[in-house]
Amino acid sequence: MIFHTFPIKGPLRIEFEPRHDERGYFMRTFCARELKDQTIEFRITQINRSRTARRGTLRGMHFQKEPHAEAKIISCLQGKIYDVLVDLREESPTYRKWVSMELAAEKNIALYIPAGFAHGFETLEEECEVEYLMSEFYHPESSSGVRWNDPLLDIVWPITSPTLSDRDANWPLLV
């Protein structure tokens, strides 16, 4: 696994290293030891998967509040998505800044998102499947989000009129 940083401290792009032969390939997609070498202690408590049928669907921007803040490792297993994370760590010099990247099944990459970040994605193709390795159990009372089109964040989305759930369309604006 090869780790790449972002302008915002904390998140990492994880590049997998498939080993190919005549049968296909084999690759490691999680290694606690390699994450620890990056100073990341990540204990998987849940593995979640979403399937989205339509291009232009936006899921986000989600996070869990303390004391159940969660880190995530996101992989796109089918299709292609535009993934966005927003730094919500008030003490961070990049507070309220965002970064994005494209995840696609054929790219063999994942995204590590530390606790303290909101996360969301927009589907760029039909039939997308996304897998989430979670560091914390789901706690409905800690579940929260921020508005995908909050003018304070000014996130640039590739599809400007996405399909949204009522919940995602009505997260509060940051003040």
Instruction: Tell me whether residue 62 is one of the annotated catalytic residues.
Output: yes
pLDDT tens-digit readout, 60-89: 999 999 999 999 999 999 999 999 999 999
| CATH for the stretch 2-163 | 2.60.120.10
Res 67: pLDDT: 96
Radius of gyration of the CA atoms of the chain, in A = 16
pLDDT the model gives residue 40: 95
Catalytic residue among 4, 20, 62, 112: 62
Any catalytic annotation for residue 132?
Answer: yes
Q: What is the pLDDT of residue 175?
A: 80
**Given 4, 112, 132, 138, which residue is catalytic?**
132
pLDDT digits (tens, 9 = 90+) for 10-27: 999 999 999 999 999 999
Contacts of 60 (CB under 8 A, 6+ apart): 84, 118, 119, 120, 121, 145, 148, 168
Chain segment 122-138, per-residue pLDDT in tens: 999 999 999 999 999 99
